[in-house]
Each structure stands twice: as structure tokens, then as C-alpha cells.
Amino acid sequence: MPTYRGERRADGYCHVTADGQPLVPRFDLRKHSPTGFEWGYFGSGPAQLALALTAHYLRATSGLPGDQADESALQLYQKIKERIVGRLPHDGWTLNDEFISAAISAIAGTVEA
């Protein structure tokens, strides 16, 4: 199961990995932030990170074909930005699949309610 890490480098660049490999920003799905990822607030950089995290997580864990996982990610990522990405600590963080799974379950519960 994926583990995600984000670190803010000395030059301010936000580097994010999924299991040690650079996380793909998924500009093909939606281009919020041409400068890349950010976190800790609710703007365009965090939206790009939320989309990339959600799409990667769903492709890795849901068993859905890639295009269906991506479509689900497009439906969920703004809520992931609100619940997770916008609240991440400034300097760095680690997220495991259980944390993301719980957030998606909570979001699905609020959508159905």
C-alpha cells in the first residue's frame, strides 16, 4: 500500500513522493498549479497535490481501471484538499494509505447522507 511523503526543501520547493518515487502531478486531469505542489492552505498548489494523491491512491488500491479511478479522483480531490492537504504541516509530512482510505470513507459517508 502506498506511503506518501512531502518535504519542503531549502529553496522552498515542495517535493512529494509515493513509495519513494516522485508523485506525478496529473496535469492531464486538471491543471491547477503550473508551479507544482503545495500544502497547508486551500489554494491551487494544494488542489494539484490533492488531485495527484487521490488519483495515485485510487489507481493503486481501488481495483478500478485507470480511467475510472481517475474519474473518481476528479469527484473526490477537492474534499481531500479540504480534509487533508490544506491541513498538512508546512515543513513536511507522511501519509499512509489507511489515513487516505479513512478520509475517502468519511467523504463518501457525507455524500450519501
pLDDT tens-digit series, residues 44-100: 999 999 999 999 999 999 999 999 999 999 999 999 999 999 999 999 999 998 999
pLDDT higher than 70, residue 113: no
Q: Partners of 8 in the beta sheet?
A: 14
Could you tell me the residue range of the domain that residue 39 belongs to?
3-112
**Per-residue three-class SS string for the chain:** CCEEEEEECCCCCEEEEECCEECCCCCCCCCCCCCCCCCCCCCHHHHHHHHHHHHHHHHHHCCCCHHHHHHHHHHHHHHHHHHCHHHCCCCEEEEEHHHHHHHHHHHHHHHHC
pTM of the model: 0.93
**Overall number of domains in the chain:** 1
Predicted local distance difference test score (pLDDT) of residue 67:
95
State how far the alpha carbon of 38 is from the alpha carbons of 60, 82, 93, 113, in Å: 22, 13, 12, 31
C-alpha cell at 21: 518515487
